[in-house]
Amino acid sequence: MERIYTTELKEHIGERVRLAGWLHALRRLGGINFLVLRDVRGTAQVVVDTPEALSSLDGLLPETVLTVEGVVVAEPQAPGGIEVHAPVFEILSPVRDALPFSLNKPEVKAQLPVFLDHATVGLRHPQKRALFRLSAGIMAGFRATLNGLSFTEIQTPKLVASATESGANVFGVDYFGQRAYLAQSPQFYKQIMVGVFERVFEVAPVFRAEPHDTIRHINEYVSLDAEMGFIRDHRDVMAVLTQVVRGILAHLQTAYAAELAVVNAVLPLAPETFPVIYFPDAQELILQRWGEDCRGEPDLAPQHERWLGGWAKEQFGSDFLFVTGYPMAKRPFYTHPNPADPAYSNSFDLLFRGTELVTGGQRLHLYADYLAAAAARGYTNLTPFESYFETFKLGMPPHGGFAIGLERFIMQLLGLENVRLATLFPRDLNRLAP
């Protein structure tokens, strides 16, 4: 008999069906035994109404894998109004050891390190599963939106000969006796590939050897990168990013409604165009509204971002706010200055509910500008940049792009307290397994 999913039971009332999944719970209620079977889509209540059926479960603990053949019965008192009666079980994988924490309670009750140590089974909890389904949905929405805008997907190397942006915070690799590094970002490659495809995106891991032990740092994460050519300036990039964010949210709403419900997610307010504030104007606003004078500082503090986020929501009904024109001093060397105000840049951050979610901007595209920028930063050895710079010497259009951290997106979307909860198997200062 073909297996059906628990969510399909309602279409089979009165029929004998076959389910497969995990023993989610075994409960004795008023003299009757109920087995709750969990599959990837939901759960089903099975009434263990014969001694044979009950004895076939003897000694089996939760997470035992089994199939059930039984009759689908409408039963108003059962969860979802449906039960399976007269079950015959086949045990595919017996479990006789206790779980490190329970998976059949509404929430996982475990300290974070304990949960992470046993994530291989902890991720089976319906809430965790829903969360990482949303993660898949974000990737799918990102790709679908960009494919619709004529972007081409690329996969660029993660083993590189030199650090992308600076020598710090890279992991070293023994590469056949040579020194290699793990790519901190696909920045150089995605720019190079604008010369080939004009518009490119990549979904891939990046590696940051930052020795920070915070709730927002992990050392390997998934970066959603895009880069596009023939732009006027960063505003064209921001327009595409706005479409991407809205495309992702629309995809979640249509294709992942069940998962959003499981994790009680409130989708953000994302108007057709997101409000924009210029960096020095943001500093003025902070002074006038909240009385803090941060004018002249090269960056915004987290509290500043929270204030601005609240202001955008109140003034524009938007959970998203672009801050543009960050000072050149705080941006990487390939950043394009604002031609009208060259101490500031054609770059932006996108704040989501008052926290930075995306960084992007226009890049330099002229070879001479790269040489000048490298000299201004005091880069004396240009050998690591040879191939990168050659690309600009041989013709690159004005271009720009952005990068979204997948795990932080999930974290901010669901209001999680730690980015590790948005990562299947996080890597941090102290954790390399599982």
Q: Which stretch binds a second copy (CB under 8 A): 70-78, 104-112, 206-214, 296-304?
A: 206-214
| Position 214 contacts a second copy (CB under 8 A) | no
Q: Of 50, 55, 147, 214, which lies in the binding site for a second copy, with binding defined by CB under 8 A?
A: 147
Encode 25-47: b = buried (16+ Cβ within 10 Å), e = exposed.
bbeeeeeeebbbbbbeebbbbbb
User: Per CB under 8 A, does 425 bind a second copy?
Assistant: yes
3-state class of 106 per DSSP? coil
Element (H, E) at 382: none
Q: Which is nearer to a second copy, 172 or 415 (CB)?
A: 172
Residues in Cβ contact with 421 at an 8 Å cutoff, skipping those fewer than 6 apart: 112, 131, 411
Pairing type for strands 152-153 and 199-207 reads parallel
Q: Whose Cβ is closer to a second copy: residue 156's or residue 184's?
A: 156
H-helix or E-strand containing 53?
A: helix 51-55
Give the SS3 label for residue 261: helix
CB of 192 to a second copy, least distance (A): 5
- Strands (DSSP E) along 79-169, which ranges? 82-93, 152-153, 159-160
Place of tokens 């006796």: 177
Shortest distance, position 391 Cβ to a second copy, whole Å: 5
Q: Does 132 bind a second copy (CB under 8 A)?
A: yes
Q: Does residue number 197 form part of the binding site for a second copy (CB under 8 A)?
A: yes
Nearer to a second copy, 92 or 267 (CB): 92
Q: How far is the CB of 91 from a second copy (least distance, A)?
A: 10
Q: In this structure, are residues 181 and 162 in contact, taking their beta carbons and an 8 Å threshold? A: yes
Residue 217 engages a second copy in binding (rule: CB under 8 A): no
User: Residue 396 interacts with a second copy (CB under 8 A)?
Assistant: yes
Least distance (Å) between residue 230 CB and a second copy? 5
Choose between 150 and 166: whose C-beta lies nearer to a second copy: 150
Identify whether the C-beta of residue 101 lies closer than 8 Å to the C-beta of residue 128: no
Where does this chain touch a second copy (CB under 8 A) — which range of 68-76, 309-317, 337-345, 424-432? 424-432
Nearest-Å Rg of the Cα atoms of the chain is 26
Closer to a second copy by Cβ: residue 150 or 315: 150
Stretch that binds a second copy, among 246-254, 273-281, 316-324, 390-398 (CB under 8 A): 390-398
Say how far apart CA 345 and CA 279 lie, in whole Å: 10
If the CB atoms of residues 41 and 306 are measured against a second copy, the closer one turns out to be: 41
| Selected binder of a second copy within 110, 123, 149, 416 (CB under 8 A) | 123
Residue among 152, 273, 359, 418 that touches a second copy (CB under 8 A): 152
Contact, 305 vs 283, CB < 8 A?
Answer: no
Judged by CB under 8 A, which of 40, 73, 86, 149 binds a second copy?
Answer: 40
- Which 241-300 positions form the footprint of a second copy (CB under 8 A)? none
d(CA 280, CA 340): 14
SS3 331: coil
Please report how close the Cβ of residue 314 comes to a second copy at its closest, in angstroms: 36
Please, is 193 exposed, middle or buried when counting C-beta atoms within 10 Å of its C-beta (0-12, 13-18, 19+)? buried
Site for a second copy contains 232 (CB under 8 A): no
Is there binding between residue 398 and a second copy (CB under 8 A)?
Answer: yes
Among 193, 270, 286, 350, binds a second copy (CB under 8 A): 193
Reading phi first (left if > 0) and then psi (alpha if -120 to 50, else beta), residue 344 is in beta
Taking CB under 8 A as the rule, does residue 374 contact a second copy? no
Instruction: Retrieve residue 298's tokens.
Output: 């090269």
Does residue 142 bind a second copy (CB under 8 A)? no
CA gap 244, 54 in Å, rounded: 52
Tell me the β-bridge partners of 322: 276, 350
Structure tokens that stand for 400 in this block: 């720009």
56 binds a second copy (CB under 8 A): no
Two tokens at 410? 């999930």
* Binder among 89, 142, 207, 352 for a second copy (CB under 8 A): 207
Interacting residues with a second copy between 78 and 107 (CB under 8 A): 92-93, 95, 97, 99
The residue within the footprint of a second copy, chosen from 7, 8, 39, 330 (CB under 8 A), is: 39
φ, ψ dihedrals at 364, nearest 5°: -60, 150
Which region among 215-223, 238-246, 276-284, 337-345 touches a second copy (by CB under 8 A)?
215-223
* Ranges within 155-184 binding a second copy (CB under 8 A): 155-162, 171-176, 178, 180, 182
